[in-house]
């Protein structure tokens, strides 16, 4: 395709309840959308960066800058753009994977809509529905946490993930385990809040019989995760650290991670995400699809990815109403703890452009050649 224009929309999505992690508390999702127009049709992509550089170094204003001034010009200059050509086309720009992934999603959506192919089919999905888990934020009290968890259990979620940090770990985990029973799937996510000297403390989570502990240490500190994995029973799972297929293989081979969280935004797109999936399957490493509080646009694509054969653990691909009272697309609804994989062309969902306009935080940025 020939890319004709890219419009960047910044939308403020109110959250149904504040979401607190070890790195901060969010009451609204400040989301960047990419609307791409080409000679063969249009596509939408969602950028997973947050408004501040706290989950990773990327953030919305930075993504707008790098897309407008560095990535979009590469797209406009290319005679023929396809999703498969983007890795090579974007090599002049180092890093900025979330910005690249948002453009890749829009290119893929346009390409697949034009050929009448779904994301699921294109990526290699083998399921028509996916098991869903839910990520539960740090709460104001253990009683409030137990109430929130009970609500998700009642809604049918097949796995609970608790956000933890120093001072909010052993006791909340113990109480939630007691509430949901010994066989319920439970895991924790620290978002890098601990350091190597906390290894003995993290070992005290072992009796909770967790599926995994996600990213306790710094993104760049693979060695401490190796040490933790050797010291405790709970499987270690990396999230923030896994930025490429190379890092994934390195972390697996060093024994830093025995399960991998795959987020397309973090790794530069759906094609790199599939490459990591394939590398993990080859090495017998289970994967699951992470979440970044996506609207229906990113959620639709994530659900398609989560239908690949190596995604054997429930993901953070929750229903729309976990985060939003009203979604930017038709809502994703949990049925028996699962979401249906969209099968229409492209992402298979329709963007509600009236809401994109109504909830805009800034004037759209139109970029063209």
Contacts with Mg ion by CB under 5 A lie at: 189, 214, 239
Catalytic one of 2, 100, 161, 163: 163
Active site residue 263: yes
Give how far the C-alpha of residue 60 lies from the chain's centroid of Cα atoms, to the nearest Å. 15
Asked if 224 interacts with ligand NPQ (CB under 6 A), we say no
Give how far the C-alpha of residue 11 lies from the chain's centroid of Cα atoms, to the nearest Å. 18
Q: Please answer whether residues 218 and 251 qualify as being in contact, where contact means their C-beta atoms are separated by less than 8 angstroms.
A: no
Residue choice 13, 19, 188, 299 for contact with ligand NPQ (CB under 6 A): 19
- Per-residue contact string for residues 299-318; x = within reach of ligand NPQ by CB under 6 A: -----------------x--
Stretch binding ligand NPQ (CB under 6 A), from 70-78, 273-281, 286-294, 345-353: 286-294
- Per-residue contact string for residues 106-145; x = within reach of ligand NPQ by CB under 6 A: -----------------------------x----------
Q: First-to-last CA distance in the chain?
A: 14
Determine the Cα–Cα distance for residues 354 and 80; give it in Å rounded to an integer. 31
Determine the Cα–Cα distance for residues 188 and 136; give it in Å rounded to an integer. 9
Determine the Cα–Cα distance for residues 233 and 228; give it in Å rounded to an integer. 9
Determine the Cα–Cα distance for residues 199 and 136; give it in Å rounded to an integer. 23
Asked if 58 interacts with ligand NPQ (CB under 6 A), we say no
- Measured at the CA of 159, the angle between CA 131 and CA 233, to 5 degrees, comes to 120
Active site residue 163: yes
Taking the complex as a whole, the smallest distance from the CB of residue 345 to ligand NPQ amounts, in Å, to 28
Asked if 21 interacts with ligand NPQ (CB under 6 A), we say yes
Q: Please answer whether residues 342 and 300 qualify as being in contact, where contact means their C-beta atoms are separated by less than 8 angstroms.
A: yes
- Using CB under 6 A, which residues numbered 22 to 41 contact ligand NPQ? 26
Catalytic one of 100, 161, 165, 263: 263
Stretch binding ligand NPQ (CB under 6 A), from 73-81, 108-116, 290-298, 334-342: 290-298
Which residue's entry shows tokens 């994530």? 302
39, with CB counted inside 10 A (0-12, 13-18, 19+), is exposed
Stretch binding ligand NPQ (CB under 6 A), from 68-76, 91-99, 285-293, 361-369: 285-293
Residues that bind ligand NPQ in the complex, under the rule CB under 6 A: 19, 21, 26, 50, 55, 135, 189, 191, 239, 290-293, 316
Q: Which residues are catalytic?
A: 163, 263
């Amino acid at each position: 395709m020939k890319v004709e224009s890219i419009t960047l929309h910044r939308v403020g999505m109110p959250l149904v309840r504040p979401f607190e992690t070890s790195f901060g508390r969010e009451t609204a999702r400040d989301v960047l959308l990419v609307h791409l127009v080409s000679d063969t049709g249009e596509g939408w992509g969602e950028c997973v960066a947050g408004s501040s550089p706290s989950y990773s170094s990327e953030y919305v204003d930075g993504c707008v800058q790098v897309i407008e001034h560095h990535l979009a010009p590469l797209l406009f200059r290319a005679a023929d753009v396809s999703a498969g050509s983007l890795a090579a086309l974007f090599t002049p720009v180092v890093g900025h994977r979330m910005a690249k992934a948002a453009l890749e999603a829009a290119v893929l959506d346009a390409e697949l809509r034009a050929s009448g192919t779904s994301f699921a089919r294109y990526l290699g999905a083998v399921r028509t529905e996916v098991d869903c888990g839910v990520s539960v934020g740090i709460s104001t009290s253990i009683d409030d946490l137990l109430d929130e968890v009970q609500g998700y259990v009642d809604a049918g979620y097949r796995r609970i993930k608790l956000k933890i940090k120093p001072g909010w770990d052993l006791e909340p985990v113990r109480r939630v385990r007691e509430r949901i029973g010994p066989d319920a799937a439970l895991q924790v996510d620290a978002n890098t809040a601990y350091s190597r000297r906390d290894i003995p403390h993290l070992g005290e989570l072992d009796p909770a019989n967790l599926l995994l502990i996600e990213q306790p240490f710094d993104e760049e500190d693979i060695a401490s995760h190796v040490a933790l994995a050797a010291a405790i029973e709970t499987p270690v799972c990396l999230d923030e650290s896994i930025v490429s297929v190379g890092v994934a293989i390195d972390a697996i081979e060093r024994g830093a991670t025995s399960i991998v969280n795959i987020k397309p935004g973090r790794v530069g797109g759906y094609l790199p995400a599939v490459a990591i999936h394939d590398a993990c399957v080859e090495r017998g490493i289970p994967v699951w699809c992470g979440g970044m509080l996506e609207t229906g646009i990113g959620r639709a694509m994530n659900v398609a990815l989560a239908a690949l054969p190596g995604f054997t653990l429930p993901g953070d691909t929750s229903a729309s109403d976990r985060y939003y009272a009203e979604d930017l697309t038709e809502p994703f609804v949990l049925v028996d703890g699962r979401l249906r994989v969209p099968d229409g062309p492209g992402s298979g969902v329709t963007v509600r452009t009236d809401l994109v306009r109504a909830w805009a935080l800034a004037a759209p940025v139109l970029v063209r050649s």
